[in-house]
C-alpha cells in the first residue's frame, strides 16, 4: 500500500483542519469537566460575592429600611409642628398652668389675742398673671410685707390655722395686693410656709 501523498490545496478551497492529537482532545474535555464543578469560576468568585452582597444590601436598605426612616422622619416633623404650635408667642397660658411666682419669705407676727405669747411665721408665693409684674413686686416689696403684717396681726390663731377660713385669708391677701398694683394682677396666693408657736 502506498501512502497517499498530500495534494497541494487547490486555489480557492480552504485547507482541511489538521487532525487533533488525542492528548489535546483529552485536555480540552478535562478542562470542561473542571469548569462544570462550580457555578462561578475561581477568580470570578472574588468579584462576584461582594457584588451580590452589595446588591442585596442595596435592595434591603431602599425597600425596607428607608421607608421606615421616612415614616419616622414625618412623625418627628409632625410632633415638632405640634410643639411649636403649643409654644406660639402671644397665646394665653392655659388655666391649669402655673404662672411665675414671686416669693415673700419669713413674715413673723404676733396674732390677735395672743398677748405676745404666740407668733405666726409665714412665707407666701404670689402667682402673677404677667411676668413683667415681677419688677413692680420687687419695687413694692416693703409695701407688700406691710400689707401681710397688717393682715396676719388682725387674725387670731384659730383663723390662721382653720383650713376652712384659710381660703378667705388668701382672697383678702390677693384683694389688698391687687388694689396696690398697676402693671398686672395676682392670680393666686400660696402658703409656702406656715408655722404657729
Is the pTM higher than 0.85? The answer reads no
The answer on 105 and 192 residing in a single domain is yes
Top pLDDT among 35 and 86 is at 86
The answer on 182 and 114 residing in a single domain is yes
Residues 6 or more apart in contact with residue 146 via CB below 8 angstroms = none
Residue from 122, 94, 124, 93 nearest 108 by CA: 122
The answer on 116 and 59 residing in a single domain is no
How many distinct helices (H) and strands (E) make up the chain?
7, 3
What is the span of the domain harbouring residue 127?
101-196
pLDDT higher than 80, residue 11 = no
pLDDT higher than 90, residue 6 = no
Q: In the chain, how many domains are there?
A: 2
What does the pLDDT read at residue 189? 92
pLDDT higher than 50, residue 33 = no
The answer on 176 and 115 residing in a single domain is yes
Q: What confidence tier does 97 reach under pLDDT thresholds 50, 70, 90?
A: low
The answer on 176 and 148 residing in a single domain is yes
- Tell me the per-residue pLDDT of 145-183, one tens digit each, with 9 for 90 and over: 999 999 999 988 888 888 888 889 999 999 999 999 998
Q: How far apart are CA 136 and CA 125, in angstroms?
A: 15
| Average pLDDT over every residue of 37-44 | 63
The answer on 148 and 80 residing in a single domain is no
The answer on 188 and 105 residing in a single domain is yes
Q: Is 111 within the bounds of a domain? A: yes
Quote the mean pLDDT of the chain.
77
Taking the chain, what is the end-to-end CA distance rounded to the nearest angstrom? 149
The answer on 173 and 143 residing in a single domain is yes
Residue from 176, 137, 135, 129 nearest 154 by CA: 176
pLDDT higher than 80, residue 184 = yes
- The torsion angles phi and psi of 12, rounded to 5 degrees, stand at 90, -10
Task: With H, G, I as helix, E, B as strand and everything else as coil, classify residue 189.
Answer: strand
What does the pLDDT read at residue 20? 54
pLDDT higher than 80, residue 15 = no
What does the pLDDT read at residue 117? 86
Amino acid at each position: 500500500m502506498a501512502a497517499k501523498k498530500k495534494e497541494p490545496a487547490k486555489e480557492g478551497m480552504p485547507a482541511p483542519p489538521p487532525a487533533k492529537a488525542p492528548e489535546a482532545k483529552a485536555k480540552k474535555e478535562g478542562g470542561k469537566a473542571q469548569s462544570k464543578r462550580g457555578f462561578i469560576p475561581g477568580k470570578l468568585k472574588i468579584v462576584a460575592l461582594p457584588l451580590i452582597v452589595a446588591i442585596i444590601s442595596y435592595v434591603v436598605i431602599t425597600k425596607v429600611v428607608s421607608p421606615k426612616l421616612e415614616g419616622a422622619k414625618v412623625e418627628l416633623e409632625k410632633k415638632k409642628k405640634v410643639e411649636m404650635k403649643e409654644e406660639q408667642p402671644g397665646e394665653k397660658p392655659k388655666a391649669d398652668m402655673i404662672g411665675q411666682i414671686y416669693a415673700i419669705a419669713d413674715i413673723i407676727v404676733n396674732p390677735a389675742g395672743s398677748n405676745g405669747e404666740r407668733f405666726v411665721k409665714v412665707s407666701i408665693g404670689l402667682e402673677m398673671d404677667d411676668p413683667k409684674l415681677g419688677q413692680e413686686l420687687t419695687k413694692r416689696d416693703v409695701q407688700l410685707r406691710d400689707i401681710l403684717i397688717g393682715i396676719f396681726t388682725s387674725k387670731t390663731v384659730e383663723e390662721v390655722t382653720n383650713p376652712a377660713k384659710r381660703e378667705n385669708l388668701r382672697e383678702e391677701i390677693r384683694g389688698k395686693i391687687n388694689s396696690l398694683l398697676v402693671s398686672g394682677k395676682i392670680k393666686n396666693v400660696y402658703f409656702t410656709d406656715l408655722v404657729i408657736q
